[in-house]
Structures are given as structure tokens and as C-alpha cells.
Copies of this chain bind each other. A is one copy, B any other.
Amino acid sequence: MTARLIAIDWGTSSFRAWLLGDDGGVIEEIPSGPGIMAVAEGGFEDCFSTLLSPWLSRWPDLPAIASGMITSRNGWVETPYLPLPLDANGLAASLLRHVTQDGHEVHFTAGAVKNPDHGVPDVMRGEEVEIFGHLAGQEHADGLFILPGTHNKWVHVENGVLSDFQTCMTGEIFALLYKDSILGRLATDDPADPAAFGRGVAAGLSRGSLMSRLFSARSLALMGRLEGGDVGDYLSGLLIGDELAVRLPLPDEPVTIIGRGDLAQRYAHAMAQAGATAVVAPPGMARAGLWEIAKLAGLVE
């Protein structure tokens, strides 16, 4: 297969790259590398050259496309945020082209912004590419997309266009509370327990102040009613349950979860417990989206 494109999904704490051939087929993959937080300021171009040297040395003229937090203020090349409504063509028309000192061409995708000037603003970088990967070939799709992660995104798509989205800090708040707050003090690291997770989801779905309900992860443990090994699952369920609760009932349209492994399954289970249904997308949406954008931008045929 002829090499056509290097696609890079470079996030805060992760790096993945694919060497893509005809029709976006995967020829080779670099499954992991340093996220942007692990690269010293000014070190991105060196990091890029080093990580991709096996491909760049063989195909020096191959275009690369990159999305994720690498395009943020803390990344390599900062791109603007494009206002909603936004479709794949809009994103493809706004690629920011950068040529490295070695003469390699990298195209950075823009982010998306909601309410930049009035109301409550919101931003994302990278998730829109995954959604366009899922939508590739089904231009007029509608639906609600959930992209779990450090900063979960809830994205509405109408007729193939991103029309609205909201960020929820569930992932980051879970990590902070579990690692650094009093809630983690009585916790022990045990294998995941679906029952404890479900109990947390039920607590999260119930009404009241989140900051009060969170404390139950400690008070239940203090009373001997929650085991140390269950605290993490309970807390995870509680936060995801709260995230769902304020959005129920969900609109009558397809709900798709785009995410990796365990986390996507947790959301699917929590939604089932809340009486909602969702489909977990197959893996590879970032890669598919990068190929789609590159195609629409004329970088590949």
C-alpha cells in the first residue's frame, strides 16, 4: 500500500500516530508517545522529528496532520477556535500549515468554540475530529455524542454539523478527588467492582448538592458501609451519575459514546442504569477523522 498521510492525535497526556495508505488504511502505527505535558517548551518539533523519523526519512514529502491539545496555547502550533455551527468542511478549510526546519509539512486542525463573545463560552480541541471520523460517509446524521475523558464533551450534531456542546470536568475531578482529597484516604486499590460503581451511579443520579453527596464516599467508609477497595468505583459512579442526572431525559436521538476501553463502558453502564441507551463507537475515530479532514482539504485524494 502506498503511504499517503501521517495522522497524529497528540493530547495532553497521550500521543498516537498512524502511517495511512489508500482510503486511509493503516500501514503502520506508533501506539504511544509523550503527551504535550511531558514535552519541554520548544521541544515539540524535535519530538516530532524523533518519533516519526522512521516514516519521515523514507517519505520526506508525506504530509502530516495533527489534532488535539498539541494545537493549544500549551502545544506546538496554536490554532484558532472556530465558532459553531461547524462541519467537517469548515474544519478542513481552516488547517494551519507549518513547515518544520527539516522541510516536513504538518497541518494542524483548529479547535471549536461556543459563545465566544456572549453567554457562557466553551471550547474543545480534538474531539470534533473524532466526531467527524464517526460521521464520515454519513453527512446528514443527527445525534448526541459523549466523549469521556479528562474533560468530557457532550456534543450535539444536526444534519452533520456540530451545533452545540458542553464540557464536563468529570475525569479531572475524579482524579483530583481520588488522589489528593480526603475521599481517597480510606481507599485501597482493588480490582474494579461493578456493584460499587452501580451504587455510586445511584447516588449520583439522586438529587441534591454534588459537593455534599461526594462526602458520602468518606462517611460510608467511616461507618464501615463501603469497603476501601470500593471507594474508587463508588466515587467514579457518583460523578458519572451526577453528570448524567442533569441531562436526563436525553433527547430522542441516537446517543454515541466515543472513548477508550473501560471509560466508555462505564458511561454505557451508567446510562443503562439511568434508563437511557447509548452505543459505544468502535475504536479508531480520531484516525478516521484525521483522514476525512485531510481528504476534504485536498491533502490526500
Contact A123 B222 (CB under 8 A): yes
Surface stretch bound by B, among A27-35, A165-173, A272-280: A165-173
Instruction: Establish whether residues B216 and A120, one from each chain, have CB atoms under 8 Å apart when the complex forms.
Output: yes
Query: Assembly of this chain: how many copies?
Result: 2
Residues on B with C-beta less than 8 A from A167 are 212, 215, 219
Q: Say whether chain A's binding surface is mostly helix, strand, loop, or mixed.
A: mixed
Task: Judge whether A223 and B116 touch: CB under 8 Å.
Answer: yes
A166–B216 CA distance with the chains assembled, in angstroms: 10
Does the CB pair B151–A243 fall under 8 Å?
A: no
A74, chain B: closest CB distance, angstroms: 8
Asked if A2 is at the interface of the complex by the 8 Å CB criterion, the answer is no
Q: Does A189 contact B (CB under 8 A)?
A: no
Indicate which residue in B73, B177, B214, B222 contacts A121 across the interface (CB closer than 8 Å).
Answer: B222
Partner of A211, one of B123, B168, B220, B223: B168
CB distance from A110 to the nearest CB of B (A): 14
A264 interface residue per 8 A CB criterion: no
A180 partner residues in chain B, CB cutoff 8 A = 176, 180
Q: Which residues of A127-162 have CB atoms within 8 Å of chain B's CB atoms? A: 151
Interface size range of chain A in the complex: 35 or more
Roughly how many angstroms separate A123 CA and B182 CA in the complex, as a whole number?
13
> Is A181 within 8 A of B209, CB to CB?
no
Q: Is A113 an interface residue (CB 8 A)?
A: yes
B contact residues around A208 at 8 Å (CB): 246
Contact B182 A172 (CB under 8 A): yes
Q: How far is the CA of A216 from the CA of B151 in the complex (A)?
A: 12
CB of A210 closer than 8 Å to a CB of B: yes
CA distance A173 to B209 in the complex (A): 13
Residue on B nearest A219 in the bound complex, by CB: B121
User: Is B168 touching A220 in the complex (CB atoms < 8 A)?
Assistant: no
Q: In the complex the two chains form, is A239's CB within 8 Å of B219's CB?
A: no
In the complex, the answer to whether B169 meets A219 with C-beta atoms within 8 Å is no
- Which B residues lie within 8 Å of A209 (CB)? 166, 168, 242-243, 246-247
A22 at the interface (CB under 8 A from B): no
Interface hits, A225-264 → B, CB 8 Å: 225, 239, 242-243, 246-247
Question: In the complex, which of the residues B120, B176, B215, B247 contacts A219, with contact meaning CB atoms closer than 8 Å?
Answer: B120
* Residue contacts A-B, CB under 8 angstroms, 14 given: A74-B185, A116-B223, A120-B216, A120-B220, A121-B220, A121-B223, A123-B222, A151-B215, A168-B215, A173-B181, A176-B177, A209-B247, A210-B242, A211-B243
